Amino acid sequence: MEPETFSRTALMAALIRAIHAKHHSPKIFEDPFAAQLLNDDDREFCESVMLNALEEHAPSVDIDAIGRDVVLTKVVSMVGASANALSRARYAEDILQELLSEGIKQYILLGAGLDTFALRTAIQPKDLIVFEVDHPPTQTFKKNRIVAAGFEIPPCVQFVPCDFTNTRIDEALSANEKFSKQVRSFFNWMGVTYYLSRTTIVDTLHAIRCVSSGGSSLVLDFIDSDAFDPDKLSERAKPIVATVASLGEPLLSVLSATSLDKDLSECGFRLRELLSPVEIQTRYFVGRADGMCAAEHINYAWLTAD
């Protein structure tokens, strides 16, 4: 992502959630606020990206004859990245609900984008603090969209500006007076690792551990090595890899499911749960009639700080 621009992939994820909320049933992830954070220009940009990718890889589809809304709904149903945007959000918030019952008081969204959890916290514990850590231009963009939609920024939210390539997470969080290293926390790092270098990923894991009390948790998703092998990359994933690169946010890194335990132990974490694409499919997508299925190459990991 360019230094002075907001995240285009955050826009795309919000549109996916908005389309899913309006057109798909059953819901994998319920987000009634995503659509309200997108204005007409945002929608036009995102929809154009999706339709251009469709035209390039499926030129026989007659968009005018089928109808733009119908086509976009089908694209979200059939594209692996769209399914992942929904299931990773569901996975993280399922774990959050479990951890809230165990006394988690701090929820940290790393690369928060246009996540709307803080707008949906009416039923959450009153003492939960949500720390949204993200690139400053993306945070400014999000604040403007919240206000433009007629919402107030929830009092439980703390915006923590951080350029992940230049600033350590522990330094950014420690600078916020409401963040406590002594409180058990839950870190949501979904949808981020594949846009960072491996060095940045490892450094970030170390930094998160530096500000995590024992028993804190972290969830992340990662791409396996097959995604970087043209002979093994799935046909469904190829247009997505090209699209995110065209948005200025190319995929950079993979993690290995086979060596993850060793990698994490060196950073002070242990693996509590690992879901492969097959297991994600079983948990969230079985029995759907719209063809939506788990993304190839993407795995979910739930980590606990020792």
Q: What's the pLDDT score for residue 251? A: 62
What's the whole-number mean pLDDT along residues 227-247?
57
Contact 186, 217 (CB under 8 A): yes
More confident: 275 or 240: 275
The one-letter amino acid code at 78 reads M
Of 118, 130, 104, nearest to 185 by C-alpha is: 104
Distance CA 75, CA 49 (A): 11
Q: Exposure string (b/e) for 183-204, b if CB count within 10 Å is 16 or more?
A: ebbbbbbbbbbbbbeeebbbbb
More confident: 79 or 207: 207
Tell me the pLDDT tens digit for each residue of 277-300.
Answer: 999 999 999 999 998 999 888 999
Say whether domain 80-234+251-305 belongs to CATH 3.40.50.11750: no
Torsions phi, psi for 114 (to 5 deg): -105, 30
More confident: 73 or 90: 90
Question: Residue ranges per domain, the chain?
Answer: 80-234+251-305
Distance CA 257, CA 237 (A): 19
User: Predicted confidence band at 97 (pLDDT cuts at 50, 70, 90)?
Assistant: very high
What's the whole-number mean pLDDT along residues 36-55?
86
Q: What's the pLDDT score for residue 70? A: 85
Contact 211, 170 (CB under 8 A): yes
What's the whole-number mean pLDDT along residues 81-102?
93
Q: What's the pLDDT score for residue 2? A: 43
What's the whole-number mean pLDDT along residues 253-261?
73
3-state secondary structure of 183: coil
More confident: 76 or 256: 76
Tell me the pLDDT tens digit for each residue of 127-185.
Answer: 899 999 999 999 999 999 999 999 999 889 999 999 877 889 999 999 999 999 999 99
3-state secondary structure of 12: helix
Mind giving me the DSSP string for 281-298? HHHHTTT-SS---PPTTE
Q: What percent of the chain has pLDDT over 90?
A: 54
Contact 202, 265 (CB under 8 A): no
